[in-house]
Amino acid sequence: MRHDQLPRLHGYGVRWDAEADRYRVRNEMTGEWLCRPTGEPAAFTFFGDAYSAWRAFEVHKRPGEK
C-alpha cells in the first residue's frame, strides 16, 4: 500500500492521527470519540496518556479482565 493510501486514523481504541501528530481515543463499541469539555476531540502526545484515557473511556470489559 502506498503512503498516500494509508488511512488517516488507524489502530484500535487508541488511534494515531497523522495530520494532528497526536493520539486520539475512540470507544470501539460505540464509535464515539473522546472529547474535551469544549467539544473538540481530545489529543494526546504520549501513547501511555491516551491508553489510560481509553481504559477509563471504554466501559466494556476487554478479554481477560474481571
- Give me the residue spans of the domains in the chain: 3-57
Long-range contacts at 51-55 (CB < 8 A, ≥ 24 apart): 51/13, 51/14, 53/25, 54/13, 54/14, 54/25, 54/26
20-56 pLDDT, tens digit each: 999 999 887 778 889 999 999 999 999 999 988 888 8
d(CA 30, CA 20): 23
Q: What is the pLDDT of residue 7?
A: 46
